């Protein structure tokens, strides 16, 4: 099979197409002929040498989410058959013509979705559902601040938060991105290049904050949370080390949490997929959630897809299509 290989750590030009063996699969896995693969920020970090894959994942083939057609099934797999069209969360190896996936980490492609549409679902939906709704317990009538509202995570979080009836505020880096977030459901936006979100939200505090920035955002986030608020981290692009005023946290009874998904155990991801199928897929199939794809590249132009992602100019998902 053809696969995109990280030939060495560095800029996007280190990504090269090479021939690799089709992966072998075990009794609990399926082999999928990949039709499209999502491009995500962790893929860039892995290419740069800053995000090693977990044990068992391909060490030099990036890619955390795919869509395609099941070509082989392990003998203990009962929920899927050859020919089924699925999307799946994987720990790596998505930039290739074939991947093996635990059967429990696959989901059916939603009604009316193309392979390109579906390839951009798993990584963001698994991340958002696990963190905002399972860990953060966002409820109808509550408010949430989503940093990076126009990212793949952001546009997923906006739509799912509105689906359950929450008020949504986002931070963005431009007016165009802010207006786009409003178009897909956000109630308001703050342009962080021109405004300080802490100043704006001190009088309208949040119940939940989803942050991928870290660094100096930390104390600002604490200050604008309501009592019993929840601060959730999924990344810390501006710094992992922060200073916490413990008494401030105690007085407001704030929960600070976060997670990484890639290295979680098989059983956790299987249970998460089942919960998503039960609670999120009905919203998608009923048209209350729409995929937002910014750009599609052929597999052999994965380097261009990474270069685009690093400009931070995109709104929504960047997808690789495999023909």
Tens digit of pLDDT per residue, the chain (323 long)?
999 999 999 999 999 999 999 999 999 999 999 999 999 999 999 999 998 898 889 999 999 999 999 999 999 999 999 999 999 999 999 999 999 999 999 999 998 999 999 999 999 999 999 999 999 999 999 999 999 999 889 999 999 999 999 999 999 999 999 999 999 999 999 999 999 999 999 999 999 999 999 999 999 999 999 999 999 999 888 888 999 999 999 999 999 999 988 889 999 999 999 999 999 999 999 888 988 999 999 999 999 999 999 998 888 899 999 98
- Could you tell me which CATH number the domain at 125-258 has? 3.40.50.720
Q: What is the DSSP code string of 145-194?
A: EEESTTSHHHHHHHHHHHHTT-EEEEEESSHHHHHHHHHTT-SEEEETTT
| Of the candidates 129, 115, 98, 128, the residue with the CA atom closest to the CA atom of residue 4 | 98
Q: Count of alpha carbons within 13 Å of 9, Cβ hemisphere only?
A: 8
Confidence (pLDDT) at 193: 94
* Rounded Cα–Cα distance for residues 177 and 182 (Å): 9
Phi/psi for 214 (5° steps) reads: 70, -150
- Could you tell me which CATH number the domain at 2-121+262-321 has? 3.90.180.10
Let me know if the fold of 2-121+262-321 is the same as that of 125-258. Answer: no
Q: Where are the domains positioned within the chain?
A: 2-121+262-321, 125-258
CB 116 within 8 A of CB 39: no
- Note if the pTM is more than 0.85: yes
């Amino acid at each position: 099979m053809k696969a995109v290989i990280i030939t060495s750590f560095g800029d996007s030009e280190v990504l090269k197409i090479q021939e690799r063996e089709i992966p072998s699969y075990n009794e609990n896995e399926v082999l999928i002929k990949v039709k499209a693969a999502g491009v995500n920020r962790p893929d860039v970090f892995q290419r740069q040498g800053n995000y090693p894959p977990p044990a068992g994942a391909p060490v030099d083939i990036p890619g955390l989410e795919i869509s395609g057609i099941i070509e082989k099934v392990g003998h203990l797999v009962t929920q899927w058959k050859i020919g089924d069209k699925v999307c799946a969360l994987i720990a790596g190896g998505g930039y290739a013509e074939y991947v093996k996936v635990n059967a429990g980490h696959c989901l059916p492609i939603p009604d009316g979705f193309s392979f390109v549409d579906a390839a951009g679902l798993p990584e963001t939906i698994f991340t958002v559902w696990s963190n905002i709704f399972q860990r953060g317990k966002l409820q109808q009538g509550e408010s949430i601040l989503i940093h990076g509202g126009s990212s793949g995570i952001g546009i997923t979080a906006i739509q799912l938060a509105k689906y359950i009836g929450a008020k949504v505020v986002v931070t963005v880096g431009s007016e165009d991105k802010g207006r786009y977030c409003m178009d897909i459901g956000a109630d308001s936006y703050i342009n962080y290049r021109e405004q300080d979100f802490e100043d704006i939200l001190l009088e309208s505090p949040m119940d939940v904050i989803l942050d991928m920035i870290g660094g100096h955002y930390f104390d600002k986030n604490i200050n604008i949370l309501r009592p019993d608020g929840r601060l959730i981290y999924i990344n810390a692009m501006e710094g992992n080390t922060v200073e916490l005023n413990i008494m401030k946290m105690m007085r407001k009874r704030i929960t600070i949490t976060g997670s990484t998904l890639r290295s979680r155990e098989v059983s956790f991801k299987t249970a998460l997929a089942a919960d998503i199928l039960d609670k999120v897929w009905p919203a998608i199939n009923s048209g209350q959630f729409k995929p937002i794809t910014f750009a599609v590249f052929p597999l052999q132009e994965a380097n261009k897809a990474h270069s685009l992602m690093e400009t931070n100019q995109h709104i929504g998902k960047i997808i690789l299509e495999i023909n």
